[in-house]
């Protein structure tokens, strides 16, 4: 597979350069020895978040493109753009501050509201995921594919560490599959895209910058991605908050939908959380 044959080859080159620029920034920091401030809602933010955001913007953004980042003020002119970057400079900041190797830089590219290309890099594990919907995904430079498992028997499901801690995964315990708690929803999606896990889902609200890059990667390898409302993921919306997201190998779609459907709260209730 040659990503350069993709119609998004220029985009993929820019993503690669941006991930490399992010790596250089991360090299200045030691996970577990980082000072964090706390934003409204008790979300941590560090100097690394802001420094990577600046590096991404410098390497990615061109005229006529929109920008949506967790660490930038939202410029709603993006709503009029055909092409939009949706990025999280540091997904898994809590894990970064704690020194857990479950954080990443997440770069998604959206065309006409659809996630079409993405790049995710975990500086702690040195894993890189890069792909586009017309070219597939490279995992550390080699072609990847999602899980081909046909049943949840023995499947590995990646869960949110904070959701597990809050007790939100109790209803999924003790079944025939394995649940592993992990930080960074973007990293979890990337692992599913490369077949390193079978399923991940969250039934609690997430912002577009948390999931767009990972969703683009899962879609690029032929995996399944769905909102809790059973629709395709639409991005670059005025309100970037989603009620939740499901992702899995293509042959697990029906089983995963059946598993989570009884536990999905009405969209309004989820959005209020």
Q: Which of 104, 121, 144 represents a domain boundary (last residue)?
A: 144
pLDDT above 60 (res 54): yes
Q: Are 219 and 262 in contact (CB under 8 A)?
A: no
The CATH number linked to 169 is: 3.40.190.80
Q: How many CB atoms lie within 10 A of CB 159?
A: 19
Pairwise CA distance, residues 77 & 170, whole Å: 42
Number of domains within the chain: 2
| Residues 134, 17 share a domain | yes
Q: Which pLDDT belongs to residue 34?
A: 80
Non-local CB neighbours of 231 within 8 Å, separated by 6+ positions: none
Pairwise CA distance, residues 183 & 3, whole Å: 29
Pairwise CA distance, residues 254 & 239, whole Å: 29
Segment 136-151 mean pLDDT? 97
Q: Which pLDDT belongs to residue 270?
A: 41
pLDDT band with cut points at 50, 70 and 90 for residue 271: very low
Instruction: Give the closest residue to 51 by CA, choosing from 32, 82, 29.
Output: 29
Whether 151 is covered by a domain: the verdict is no
Segment 266-271 mean pLDDT? 46
- Give me the domain span that covers residue 227: 156-272
- Kindly report the pTM of this predicted structure: 0.94
Structure tokens at 22: 């992010």
Instruction: Give the closest residue to 202 by CA, choosing from 153, 149, 254, 241.
Output: 241
| Residues 171, 86 share a domain | no
pLDDT above 90 (res 61): yes
Pairwise CA distance, residues 178 & 269, whole Å: 28
| Residues 132, 235 share a domain | no
Whether 149 is covered by a domain: the verdict is no
Q: Which of 98, 120, 144 represents a domain boundary (last residue)?
A: 144
């Amino acid at each position: 597979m040659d990503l350069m044959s993709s119609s998004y080859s220029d985009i993929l080159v820019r993503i690669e350069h941006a991930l490399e620029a992010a790596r250089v920034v991360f090299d200045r920091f030691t996970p577990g020895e980082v000072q964090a401030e706390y934003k409204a809602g008790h979300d941590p933010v560090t100097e690394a978040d802001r420094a990577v955001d600046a590096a991404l913007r410098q390497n990615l953004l061109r005229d006529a493109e929109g920008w949506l980042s967790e660490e930038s003020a939202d410029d709603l002119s993006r709503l009029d753009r055909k092409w939009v970057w949706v990025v999280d400079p540091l997904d898994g900041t809590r894990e970064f501050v704690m020194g857990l190797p479950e954080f990443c830089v997440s770069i998604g590219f959206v065309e006409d509201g659809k996630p079409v290309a993405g790049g995710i890099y975990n500086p702690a594990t040195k894993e890189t995921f890069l792909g586009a919907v017309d070219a597939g995904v490279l995992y550390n430079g080699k072609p990847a594919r999602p899980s081909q498992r046909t049943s949840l028997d023995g499947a590995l499901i990646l869960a949110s560490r904070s959701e597990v801690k809050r007790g939100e995964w109790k209803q999924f315990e003790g079944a025939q599959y394995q649940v592993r708690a992990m930080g960074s929803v973007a990293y979890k999606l990337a692992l599913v895209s490369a077949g390193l896990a079978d399923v991940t889902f969250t039934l609690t609200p997430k912002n577009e910058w948390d999931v767009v890059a990972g969703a683009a990667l899962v879609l690029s390898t032929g995996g399944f991605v769905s909102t809790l409302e059973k629709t395709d993921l639409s991005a670059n919306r005025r309100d970037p908050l989603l009620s939740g997201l499901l992702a899995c190998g293509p042959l697990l779609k029906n089983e995963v939908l059946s598993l989570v459907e009884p536990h999905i709260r009405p969209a309004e209730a989820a959005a209020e959380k």
